[in-house]
A and B are shown apart, each in its own frame.
Chain A
Amino acid sequence: MNGVHDMGGMHGMGPIHHEKNEPVFHEPWEARVYAITRVLRAGGGRQNLDNSRHQLELLPPAEYLRMSYYERWLARLLNQIVTNGVITRAELESGHPAPGSLAATLATPAVTAAMIPALVTRRNSARRDGAVSPRFKVGQRVRARNIHPTGHTRLPRYARGKHGVISRDHGVFLFPDTNAAFLGEKPQHVYSVRFAARELWGEHASARDFIHLDMWDDYLERA
Chain B
Amino acid sequence: MGHTQEPHDHDHQAVPSDLTLRVKALESLLVEKGLVDRAALDAVVDTYETKIGPRNGARVVARAWVDPAYRKRLLTDASAAIAELGYVGGQGEDMVVLENGPKVHNLVVCTLCSCYPWPILGLPPVWYKSAPYRSRAVIDPRGVLREFGVELGDDVEVRVWDSTAEVRYLVLPERPAGSEHMTEDQLAVLVTRDSMVGVGKVSLAAVSGGPS
- Residue pair A86, B35 in contact (C-beta under 8 Å): yes
The residue on B at minimum CB distance from A10 is B135
Task: Determine whether A203 belongs to the interface, using a CB cutoff of 8 Å to chain B.
Answer: no
Q: Which of A68, A91, A116 contacts B44 (CB 8 A)?
A: A116
Inside 8 A of A176's CB, which chain B residues have their CB? Answer: 165
The residue on B at minimum CB distance from A15 is B132
The residue on B at minimum CB distance from A20 is B212
How far apart are the CA atoms of A97 and B135 in the complex, in Å? 43
- Residue pair A17, B126 in contact (C-beta under 8 Å): yes
The residue on B at minimum CB distance from A98 is B33
Q: Which of A32, A68, A102 contacts B13 (CB 8 A)?
A: A68
How far apart are the CA atoms of A124 and B19 in the complex, in Å? 31
How far apart are the CA atoms of A92 and B160 in the complex, in Å? 43
Known: A17-B3, A109-B35, A120-B52. A27 touches B15 (CB 8 A): yes
Inside 8 A of A208's CB, which chain B residues have their CB? Answer: 154-158
- Residue pair A123, B89 in contact (C-beta under 8 Å): yes
The residue on A at minimum CB distance from B124 is A69
Q: Which of B82-132 contact A (CB under 8 A)?
A: 88-90, 93-94, 96, 109, 111-114, 119, 122-123, 125-127, 129-132
Segment from B24-32, B59-67, B171-179, B182-190 that makes contact with A: B24-32
- Residue pair A212, B161 in contact (C-beta under 8 Å): yes
Known: A27-B19, A109-B40. A125 touches B94 (CB 8 A): yes
Q: Which of A6, A18, A19, A206 contacts B111 (CB 8 A)?
A: A6
- Distance (Å) between the CB of A222 and the closest chain B CB? 20
List residues of A whose CB falls within 8 A of some B CB.
5-11, 13-22, 24-29, 31-36, 38-40, 43, 53, 56, 65-66, 68-69, 71, 74, 77-78, 86-87, 91-92, 95-97, 101-102, 105-113, 115-117, 119-127, 154-156, 158, 168, 170, 173, 176, 190, 192, 197, 200-201, 205-206, 208-216
List residues of B whose CB falls within 8 A of some A CB.
1, 3, 6-13, 15, 19-20, 22-30, 32-37, 39-45, 47-49, 52-53, 88-90, 93-94, 96, 109, 111-114, 119, 122-123, 125-127, 129-139, 141-142, 144, 147-148, 154-167, 212
Sample 25 A-B pairs with CB under 8 A, ordered by A number: A7-B135, A8-B137, A13-B8, A14-B7, A15-B132, A24-B48, A27-B15, A28-B20, A29-B19, A29-B24, A32-B24, A33-B23, A69-B11, A69-B129, A74-B23, A92-B29, A95-B29, A97-B32, A109-B34, A112-B37, A116-B44, A121-B88, A126-B165, A206-B158, A213-B162
